[in-house]
Chain A
Amino acid sequence: MSDVVEKTLTALPGLFDSQTGAAKITNRLRQLIKSITELTSKHEEENLIKKELSAMKEQVSSPNTTMKQMREIMVRAMYCEMLGYDASFTYIHAIKLAQQGSVLEKRVGYLAVSLFLNEGHELLLLLVNTVLKDLQSTNLIEACMALTVVAQVFPKDMIPAVLPLVEDKLSHPKEIIRRKAVLALYKFYLIAPNQVQHIHAKFRKALCDKDPGVMTSSLHIYLQLIRESPDSYKDLTGSFVTILKQVVGGKLPVDFNYHSVPAPWLQIQLLRILSLLGKEDQSTSELMYEVLDESLRRAEMNHNITYAILFECVKTVYTIHPKAELLEKAARCIGNFVLSPKINLKYLGLKALTYVVQHDAKLALQHQMTIIECLDHSDFTIKRETLELLFRITNAQNVTVIVEKMLNFLRSCNDEHTIIHLVGKVAELAEKYPFN
């Protein structure tokens, strides 16, 4: 497949003539952007855009406007909306573009629809037939586009109309179609879970798909299902552990590596799933200890993504049924984060401590010097996270000091949300320790 793409890509320059097509089409957008950058006041920008929009209004209503021109107008419309102006008169034309345009025009039409319209928008109903048609197209690019838009904005009530077609795509020979179908079903599950009850068996098939991309997308659904009802999926623990083992052991195609780390997002999904399955369940937890140990061991490199995986690992280790050696390793990990000069890691370390402190108060004590330093940190975010942590380790001895620190922070705080949140915490503490 990639040889063909390579061959076609090298033949590309010959197909295009820089005098026509692309240059002309993007010219008006470029003109518009250039004109806007040259203006100096918001008022001038408003005038220019208003003129532009009224010209566009005329063009979209004209019967002589071709789909090609409509595509160009749609891009300008998206641009205007991004700047904050209303171009809602183009919405219906976006749908028409997706309906009547050639593949490239359809692509822009679908994009405009996904940007302009929300799920509940009545115009979306007009898109359904187009989606149905494209889902059945022999041109797979069109089918992909339809699946992409379905996974983003689709009216809940029309799900029954497309469901059979989407289900059908689960067994398509091309992995990209299978993967997008799974994601569409995930979306359906989020907005209308009853509609997809009957196809859980098909999700299992997706989980066992030979293509790692398809398998990964099924995990979104599983994470959701398991969140809602972990007991129903305990029997899958072994499978998830096996997959994680294979990923961590580097058994996936090299292409899935991100900075030499194998499929990090997949690892994290799996860790989250395992954490839900092993919670308060000793026998299930025991199935995971080995792979968690391996993950902690393997994530040794100095890259942000490794730290992200470690963080998730640590969370999992502390959530499931405790195992001493793992807890020790995880605690060391947290220590490294908290002591790190890299501020993002310090933040993560504090966050981890907050999470962990109910299981292991000693750990916070071990790092109290650093915590005290962080209290006076110039970065508001760090300060706040530290206060959050302190709130968790408050006891009768230190409550006065801690509340004082919180009040100090409140005095210099501007964010309404934070203020409300912290005042609530102070009130809680006042109730708990009435004699300070």
Chain B
Amino acid sequence: MALEKQQKAFIAMRFMLLFSRQGKLRLQKWYTATAERDKKKMVRELMQVVLARKPKMCSFLEWRDLKIVYKRYASLYFCCAVEEQDNELITLEVIHRFVELLDKYFGSVCELDIIFNFEKAYFILDEFLMGGEIQDTSKKSVLKAIEQADLLQEEDESPRSVLEEMGLA
């Protein structure tokens, strides 16, 4: 039990949510094992709390035993839950970095891109935020990793030669 507690405390980021102003969930990534029904409850509650914040307020708030860091980009709220002691400003910048990556990948990203291509958004998230820890690798290398897999997108025309050309097979 003590070891479990210790391990729990060390995972800085618990989850990340993306949702619209109308409270529609667009993306959810959980970095700790959580039961489905608890996830639903937490998402519902948290959306309400965040949507109730006024524009001039700071980007941080306390919720349950966690700190919530959130920022609104156009019609989307990006929301992260971190451990109490963590540096909230750094998490705010993690969010910003994610948005920059999405923007570069989709070319001037908007909510629709994320709605219709959510699995791509997940791929990018997983590439730069592994297990809740940011990887601080260059922006170029994150997007390169995604694009290389994307290049196999439309089938068997010549994935082989593409891979060989890139020296990956």
Give A residues with C-beta under 8 Å from B: 1-2, 4-5, 7-9, 12, 15-16, 20-22, 26, 29-30, 33, 75, 78-79, 82-84, 86, 102-104, 107-108, 111, 114-115, 118-120, 138-141, 144-145, 148, 151-152, 176, 179-180, 183, 186-187, 190-191, 213, 216-217, 220, 224, 227-228, 253, 255-256, 258, 263-266, 268-269, 304-305, 307-308, 311-312, 343-344, 346-348, 351, 378-382, 384, 415, 417-418
Contacts and interface: CB of A to CB of B under 8 A. Distances in A.
Contact of B152 (A141, A152, A187, A380): A141
Given A21-B155, A343-B58, 19 more contacts: A1-B166, A5-B144, A8-B166, A12-B151, A82-B26, A84-B25, A107-B123, A111-B126, A115-B122, A138-B169, A148-B127, A190-B11, A256-B136, A264-B136, A312-B90, A344-B89, A381-B57, A417-B62, A417-B63
Contact of B60 (A144, A253, A312, A344): A344
Interface of B: 6-7, 10-11, 25-29, 33-34, 36, 40, 54, 56-65, 87-90, 92-94, 96-97, 115-119, 122-123, 126-127, 130-131, 133-141, 144-145, 147-149, 151-159, 162-163, 165-169
20 contacts: A1-B144, A5-B148, A9-B151, A15-B158, A16-B153, A22-B153, A78-B119, A103-B149, A104-B152, A111-B122, A118-B34, A140-B169, A141-B152, A145-B149, A213-B137, A255-B139, A263-B136, A348-B88, A378-B54, A381-B57
Mostly helix, strand, loop or mixed at chain A's interface? helix
Contacts of A29: 116
Contacts, number: 204
Nearest to B92: A304
A387 to B, nearest CB: 11
Nearest to A342: B58
Nearest to B27: A82
A382 B59 CA distance: 11
A181 B146 CA distance: 18
B107 to A, nearest CB: 13
B168 A140 contact: yes
A84 B136 CA distance: 32
Contacts of B96: 304
Contacts of A265: 90, 94, 134-136
B138 to A, nearest CB: 4
B10 A344 contact: no
Contacts of B141: 176, 213, 255
B13 to A, nearest CB: 12
Contacts of A9: 147, 151
A343 B144 contact: no
A217 B162 CA distance: 29
A308 B90 contact: yes
A317 to B, nearest CB: 15
A347 B136 contact: no
B152 to A, nearest CB: 5
Contact of A347 (B88, B130, B139): B88
A22 B120 CA distance: 13
A426 to B, nearest CB: 17
A160 B144 CA distance: 32
A16 B154 contact: yes
Contacts of B154: 15-16, 20-22
Contacts of A224: 10
B140 A255 contact: yes
A380 B53 CA distance: 10
B88 to A, nearest CB: 7
A45 B143 CA distance: 35
* Residue among B34, B96, B119 having the largest count of chain A Cβ atoms under 10 Å: B119
Contact of B58 (A8, A78, A255, A382): A382
B116 A381 contact: no
Contacts of B65: 417
A179 B137 contact: yes
A44 to B, nearest CB: 15
B106 to A, nearest CB: 14
A2 B62 contact: no
A381 B93 contact: no
B153 A253 contact: no
Given A107-B149, A384-B62, A33 B116 contact: yes
B33 A118 contact: yes
A179 B58 contact: no
Contacts of B34: 118
Contact of B135 (A22, A145, A216, A227): A216
